[in-house]
Structure 1
């Protein structure tokens, strides 16, 4: 789910810029860190801080928001 969330952010320029600003990652860093559980957890945690963005992601992926929370927790969040 973390990779799906990252792909979702990649298609949303404004939220992606906000995520990069708070995470300190650049575009290259996103690709390099995409396989790191802690980084994917950070992506999910970012979605969880913005209810509107979270709901849009969940609608796009046909997921319940609580599944994002569970996935974040499973990755260490």
Structure 2
């Protein structure tokens, strides 16, 4: 079943919440993206920013596994959600 944009945004918001509660990982995210507190607040309503949150978490398999366990979703859910958000379209070269 394809992931809808609405469900993708919901999962990405959950991921952002998980990230905000993670005292070890949040500074890494903020340092890597240059995001400040205001950016995090504004980004919660920006599908492109939410896609960037998923991109960040998907950089590390352990982060994906931890988030998915927290959210109670399959480990491929962040990837499927990412494809439904701006900038996440897959290129088909065939």
Q: TM-score range by the shorter chain?
A: over 0.9
1:2-52 superposed Cα distances (whole Å, 9 cap, x missing partner): 100000000001211111111110112101111100100000111110111
Unaligned runs of 5+ in 1: none
**Over 3 Å off, 4+ runs:** none
Aligned to 1:68: 78
Let me know the Cα RMSD of the aligned residues: 0.9
Query: How high is the TM-score relative to the length of structure 1?
Result: 0.93
Query: How high is the TM-score relative to the length of structure 2?
Result: 0.77
2:37 & 2:64 partners in 1: Cα distance?
21
From the CA coordinates, give the structure whose radius of gyration is larger.
2
Unaligned runs of 5+ in 2: 1-10, 89-94
